[in-house]
Amino acid sequence: AQDMQQGWNKEAVNKPHPGLNWFSSAKFGLFIHWGLYSELGGKWKDSSYYGSGEWIMQRAKAPAGEYAKVAASFNPTGFNAAQWAARAKAAGIKYLVITAKHHEGFSMFDSRVTDFDIVDATPYHKDPMKELADACRKEGLQFGFYYSQFLDWHEPDGGGNNWDFKNRKKDYRQYYQSKSIPQLKELLNNYGPLGIIWFDMPGGLSEQETKQMIDSLKAIQPSCLFSSRVGHGLGDYIDFGDSELPPTPIEGAWESIYTHNDSWGYIRHDMNFKSPAEIIRLLSSVASKGGNLMLNVGPDGKGEWPAYSIKYLEETGKWLQQYGESIYGTTHGIIPAQPWGVTTSKPGKVFLHVWQLPDNGQLRVPGLTARINSVTLLGTAIALPWKQSADETVITLPAEWPDKRNTVIQVEYSGQQPDWSQLR
């Protein structure tokens, strides 16, 4: 539709920012989509929907008044902030971003701007965001809010709802002034220091107006990062499209976001969860290109996480306990992606993430021309024999392979080593 033509915004100012210190070494974030759509779980009346559960109101063309009634049965008695934060921590996650308001227009926090919020409109009557913000900080995690600043299918003057509010004017400044900006200020004022405001789907404002909005918000918390979908290239770091990974390493701060199954919001009939091996390899792939992975979980209307999300994140965390050194604080791999896997780097070190074992037990690594000092299985004292020649290094792998999903070999070197782009 007309409203959405501005689409993604993958540009960012790429200026120094205090928040980029934690962001750049964090590498692994947790996205949580939670709203009224979580109570619906992909079902509206007699129809079931697959994928993008958070879009169900739009896909079912539900009238705003009728959709709003879902709030009366939204009672997440299973929500447990300490447990959510502890799960994230144990999974090796460093930051958490949760939907404060998605396109459906419902506020998952206590807002004075509207009664269409979790405290006023549901039998729960409490603010889960306050508890979650505190629990995350207790665990040492950065905490942030997703906020859909333009689309709002509940408000006649918000963006996007053209199946219900047909006659609204095409000037969205009123919406920004009366809801988005006041709510963003509430989030920045009432929930302690935020790591990120994760804007989505820009629209309706000029570059000048977007700058003004950003300035008025940055005045409250200067060290909070704004995602690139704030629009007009004015974000602090780059977000690629949903479930999109750049083909080659990218300089600067950026993030790729992925669903765990095939939806952001909870879908009761979606069991297509990425396995621990897939998550671990995805995380390594994103890190090998220099970015952060923010993986999504969609809790249900009771506040319970899907069992597979709990289990698979826990297993990912165990892998990170052993191999985290090859992920956190790394930069993109100096060796380009190989048939056997990917690489990440630290000064004087390259980490070989091996997913595919060569039949003959000989791992071929092209382009390592610096002086190699040691080759070990990461997290162990086990040294591996290697033979370095002008165009490749051949490493002899042990007969016993620790982890078929991804075992990391650490190569320590000294002296000059060309980067991947010079190796092409």
Q: Based on the shown chain and the rule CB under 6 A, indicate whether residue 150 belongs to the binding site for ligand H79.
A: no
Min. distance of Cβ 54 from ligand H79 in angstroms? 5
Q: Based on the shown chain and the rule CB under 6 A, indicate whether residue 55 belongs to the binding site for ligand H79.
A: yes
User: Candidates 49-57, 324-332, 334-342, 394-402 — which segment interacts with ligand H79 by CB under 6 A?
Assistant: 49-57
Strands 407-414 and 349-354: antiparallel
Distance CA 194, CA 170 (A): 32
Min. distance of Cβ 400 from ligand H79 in angstroms? 42
Distance CA 102, CA 55 (A): 9
Min. distance of Cβ 57 from ligand H79 in angstroms? 10
Strands 43-44 and 254-258: unpaired
Residues 30, 121, 197, 201: which binds ligand H79 (CB under 6 A)? 201
| Nearer of residues 24 and 263 to ligand H79, judged by Cβ | 263
| Nearer of residues 100 and 352 to ligand H79, judged by Cβ | 100
Residue listed under structure tokens 């007309």: 2
Q: Which of 326, 335, 333, 424 is nearest to 380 (CA)?
A: 326
Min. distance of Cβ 41 from ligand H79 in angstroms? 15
Query: Is the Cβ–Cβ distance between 121 and 174 less than 8 Å?
Result: no
Residues 28, 32, 40, 54: which binds ligand H79 (CB under 6 A)? 54
Site string (228-257) toward ligand H79, x via CB under 6 A: --------------x--------------x
| Nearer of residues 201 and 238 to ligand H79, judged by Cβ | 201
Helix, strand or coil for residue 420? Answer: helix
User: Candidates 21-29, 52-60, 88-96, 155-163 — which segment interacts with ligand H79 by CB under 6 A?
Assistant: 52-60
Residues 104, 152, 200, 270: which binds ligand H79 (CB under 6 A)? 200
Helix, strand or coil for residue 299? Answer: coil
How many C-beta atoms surround the C-beta of residue 208 within 10 A?
Answer: 9
| Nearer of residues 177 and 243 to ligand H79, judged by Cβ | 243
Measured over the CA atoms of residue 339, residue 273, residue 22 and residue 88, the dihedral's sign is negative
Query: Is the Cβ–Cβ distance between 26 and 295 less than 8 Å?
Result: no
Identity at 284, one-letter amino acid code: S
Angle, vertex CA 214, rays to CA 211 and CA 219, nearest 5: 125
Distance CA 307, CA 34 (A): 16
Min. distance of Cβ 111 from ligand H79 in angstroms? 19
Q: Based on the shown chain and the rule CB under 6 A, indicate whether residue 264 belongs to the binding site for ligand H79.
A: yes
Phi, psi of 201 (to 5 degrees): 50, 75
User: Candidates 47-55, 65-73, 156-164, 166-174 — which segment interacts with ligand H79 by CB under 6 A?
Assistant: 47-55
Min. distance of Cβ 264 from ligand H79 in angstroms? 4
Residue listed under structure tokens 């992606």: 337
Number of H helices, E strands in the chain: 13, 18
Min. distance of Cβ 224 from ligand H79 in angstroms? 18
Min. distance of Cβ 103 from ligand H79 in angstroms? 7
Site string (58-77) toward ligand H79, x via CB under 6 A: -x------------------
Token pair for residue 393? 């290094």
How many C-beta atoms surround the C-beta of residue 37 within 10 A?
Answer: 31
| Nearer of residues 59 and 318 to ligand H79, judged by Cβ | 59
Min. distance of Cβ 59 from ligand H79 in angstroms? 6
Min. distance of Cβ 198 from ligand H79 in angstroms? 8
Min. distance of Cβ 421 from ligand H79 in angstroms? 30
| Nearer of residues 131 and 242 to ligand H79, judged by Cβ | 242
Token pair for residue 141? 């995690």
Burial 114-153 (b: 16+ CB within 10 A, else e): bebbbbebbebeebbbebbbebbbebebbbbbbbbbbbbb
Q: Which of 282, 290, 230, 227 is nearest to 259 (CA)?
A: 282
How many chain residues touch ligand H79 (CB under 6 A)?
Answer: 9
| Nearer of residues 157 and 255 to ligand H79, judged by Cβ | 255
| Nearer of residues 59 and 211 to ligand H79, judged by Cβ | 59
Residues that bind ligand H79 (CB under 6 A): 52, 54-55, 59, 200-201, 242, 257, 264
